Chain A
């Protein structure tokens, strides 16, 4: 039906302004007229012209994929799970877009890791193609890229996703955040991730950690957990309890056409920012402490009787001044009482990285295996998603009791045993193996995750790794899941003379060890289940990255 097109190396690229390239570029840049389209169709009769066209479009596609904060499409059940978190009524496309940040955590990888779409064919190919696709970032990680390129990468990967219509603020940093489990219904269905859009009326219950929020009115607020707060508008938030600091550069905000106003409502008062930076602390009884670091702040107590403001009682506070509105609703000046945290520590370490001796940068990782456990039937003999279609490597697992569940893209294990997938680590890398497990029943099954030289589905000892649960001792093989959903991760560091292994549960480091030399014989990754109570696996991933540690 068609003549095969020659490879890119076999065609002549001639001059940059040759007619063919001009026409292709006009079409690709959306500048083409009908006549241009017709001319291109004529030109494409030549197979070499087709090659050039394919190459240009591939180039464009790569750049689009790199440059835009691309939202991958998500299956409807995942999308629907998170769509409920939006309080207004965005379009379907908005919804799809909005949920991806949230869903990314469910999938167990990060949006930044475009690498997972590389669809690379094998681990070997991946080793060779560290710089493919995500390559710039990987190369950056490897220290191969010069400073200007680094800036570009940062812009590309740090780019904020589009804000959703109706939102008034956006999360710009998270530091060691834990969200409290509450019954607050206005809380989003999923905890906000970095760059998540926030809507008026949303409540948040922060158990610990710091969250930085950029309000459309121009203010930047840093909330310190434990705190209960809500977004009231583009220039306002309500702090029920806890501490926050806010900074508003009024001149800059005005210049940017923003509202340049910020108010914090508390149960006893309203604190209005008149161009400054200040801290507000709300105690258990609603008492409000205000400290001004810079500029001017207005403190307006509410009446206890009708909750109305009492303008006569207002206080204006200057830099260095502090005041309190106690439960009697009286505003009194006082010496500063509260120590506020005013900056996010180590601004780059916002993605809840575990305290590891190296930093795992999701944006710089290349995915080796991304297994969604889609399909039905036994896990044994199935091919992982990322190697599907081209790979021949299959899961080895017990023939009974390890079944894929098409309804939830997961494997349900009802019988003790182990599953294996061929994997051979190379020197000089970090390998990160991660899986999310759910144990619906008590007592929960014991689960291990790691690497091993031999594959025996009935063997439960994993030679070189256990993923431990934080609730148990980090030593020994007592890696008993505490029930619920746990993301287990092991990181194999082959960058040093002695290979090391780190175990994490829900991104917390729970164990580390130096591996014996036999670890060089690792040929499989493995998951082991040692009890018969049902356990479900979701979304396993194995990724590698080059380590920027000086040798």
Chain B
């Protein structure tokens, strides 16, 4: 069950903690903890809400630790709670959006796809990518922002089309 829902948990945590590397660490921790607590899970209840509640607490703990340890930009606890609730509700329609996104990704030009791949592969920082491409980090961020905007527009359009039919 845990193995199946890891992707949902990943999206959930990424919403609460903007830093991707934090999320990778925390996802491991959460999965391990959920596994250890598996006896307290009642199989007749939905798995995800249980897992999300747990992940939210872990994220809160992580944040407290982080903000103590170093000066990192993180959301404060109240917002985090609110985002957690919103994300869980947003989850219900996630599959349709992912489906639309898959179609939209196909419409990108190869260079745009390459940029997304480079950005999200996690092997280079944004600064390294920008340096490699000979542009400033700010202009790369702007490029990514436009791409995200275009993709979201496209997803929105596809969803509206689907609703219409």
Contacts and interface: CB of A to CB of B under 8 A. Distances in A.
Nearest to A34: B73
Contacts of A7: 93, 159
A118 B4 CA distance: 7
Contact of B95 (A44, A121, A156): A121
Contacts of A25: 141, 144-145, 148
B152 to A, nearest CB: 6
A67 B74 contact: no
A114 B98 CA distance: 13
Contacts of B138: 31
B95 A120 contact: yes
B121 interface: yes
B85 interface: yes
B135 interface: no
B43 interface: yes
Contacts of A75: 2, 35
B150 interface: yes
B11 interface: yes
A441 interface: no
Interface stretch (A51-59, A187-195, A422-430, A484-492): A51-59
8 contacts: A41-B75, A41-B79, A54-B15, A60-B120, A61-B11, A65-B10, A116-B4, A120-B95
A60 B14 CA distance: 9
A152 interface: yes
A403 to B, nearest CB: 14
Interface in B104-119: 105-106, 109-110, 113-114, 116-117, 119
Given A44-B79, A385-B1, A117 B11 contact: no
B86 A389 contact: no
B98 A30 contact: no
B116 to A, nearest CB: 6
B106 A145 contact: yes
A73 B137 contact: no
A151 B106 CA distance: 11
A1 interface: yes
Interface string A1-18: 110110111000100110
Contacts of B116: 63, 67
Interface string A356-396: 00000000000100101011000000110110111000000
Interface string A134-163: 011001000001101101100110010000
B26 to A, nearest CB: 11
A220 to B, nearest CB: 23
Interface in A94-152: 96, 107, 114, 116-121, 125, 129, 131-133, 135-136, 139, 145-146, 148-149, 151-152
Interface in A13-66: 13, 16-17, 21-22, 25-34, 36-37, 41, 44, 50-66
A4 B93 CA distance: 14
B73 A57 contact: no
A5 B20 CA distance: 24
Given A37-B74, A57-B15, A149-B106, A1 B85 contact: yes
B14 A57 contact: yes
B5 A2 contact: no
A52 to B, nearest CB: 8
Interface in A67-113: 67-68, 72-76, 93, 96, 107
B103 interface: yes
A119 B8 contact: yes
A58 B97 contact: yes
Contact of A61 (B10, B39, B89, B109): B10
Nearest to A107: B3
B28 A54 contact: no
Contacts, number: 243
Given A54-B15, A136-B105, 5 more contacts: A37-B75, A50-B86, A59-B101, A132-B98, A385-B1
Interface string B1-33: 111111110110011001110000001100110
Contacts of B150: 16
Interface string B126-157: 10000000000110011011101111110110
Contacts of A13: 149, 152-153, 156
B78 to A, nearest CB: 9
A64 B79 contact: no
- The secondary-structure label for the interface of chain B is helix
B79 to A, nearest CB: 6
A114 B19 CA distance: 23
A121 B6 CA distance: 15
Contact of B142 (A17, A155, A388): A17
A52 B151 CA distance: 12
B48 A389 contact: yes
Nearest to A77: B35
A141 B68 CA distance: 49
Contacts of A136: 102, 105-106
B99 interface: yes
A68 B7 contact: no
B101 A62 contact: yes
A197 to B, nearest CB: 17
Contacts of B69: none
A377 to B, nearest CB: 8
Contacts of B3: 72-74, 107, 116-117, 370, 372, 385
Given A31-B126, A57-B15, A5 B99 contact: no
A452 B123 CA distance: 48
Given A28-B18, A65-B10, A372 B160 contact: no
A25 B153 CA distance: 15
B94 A388 contact: no
Contacts of A51: 86, 90
A133 B7 contact: yes
B54 interface: no
B135 to A, nearest CB: 14
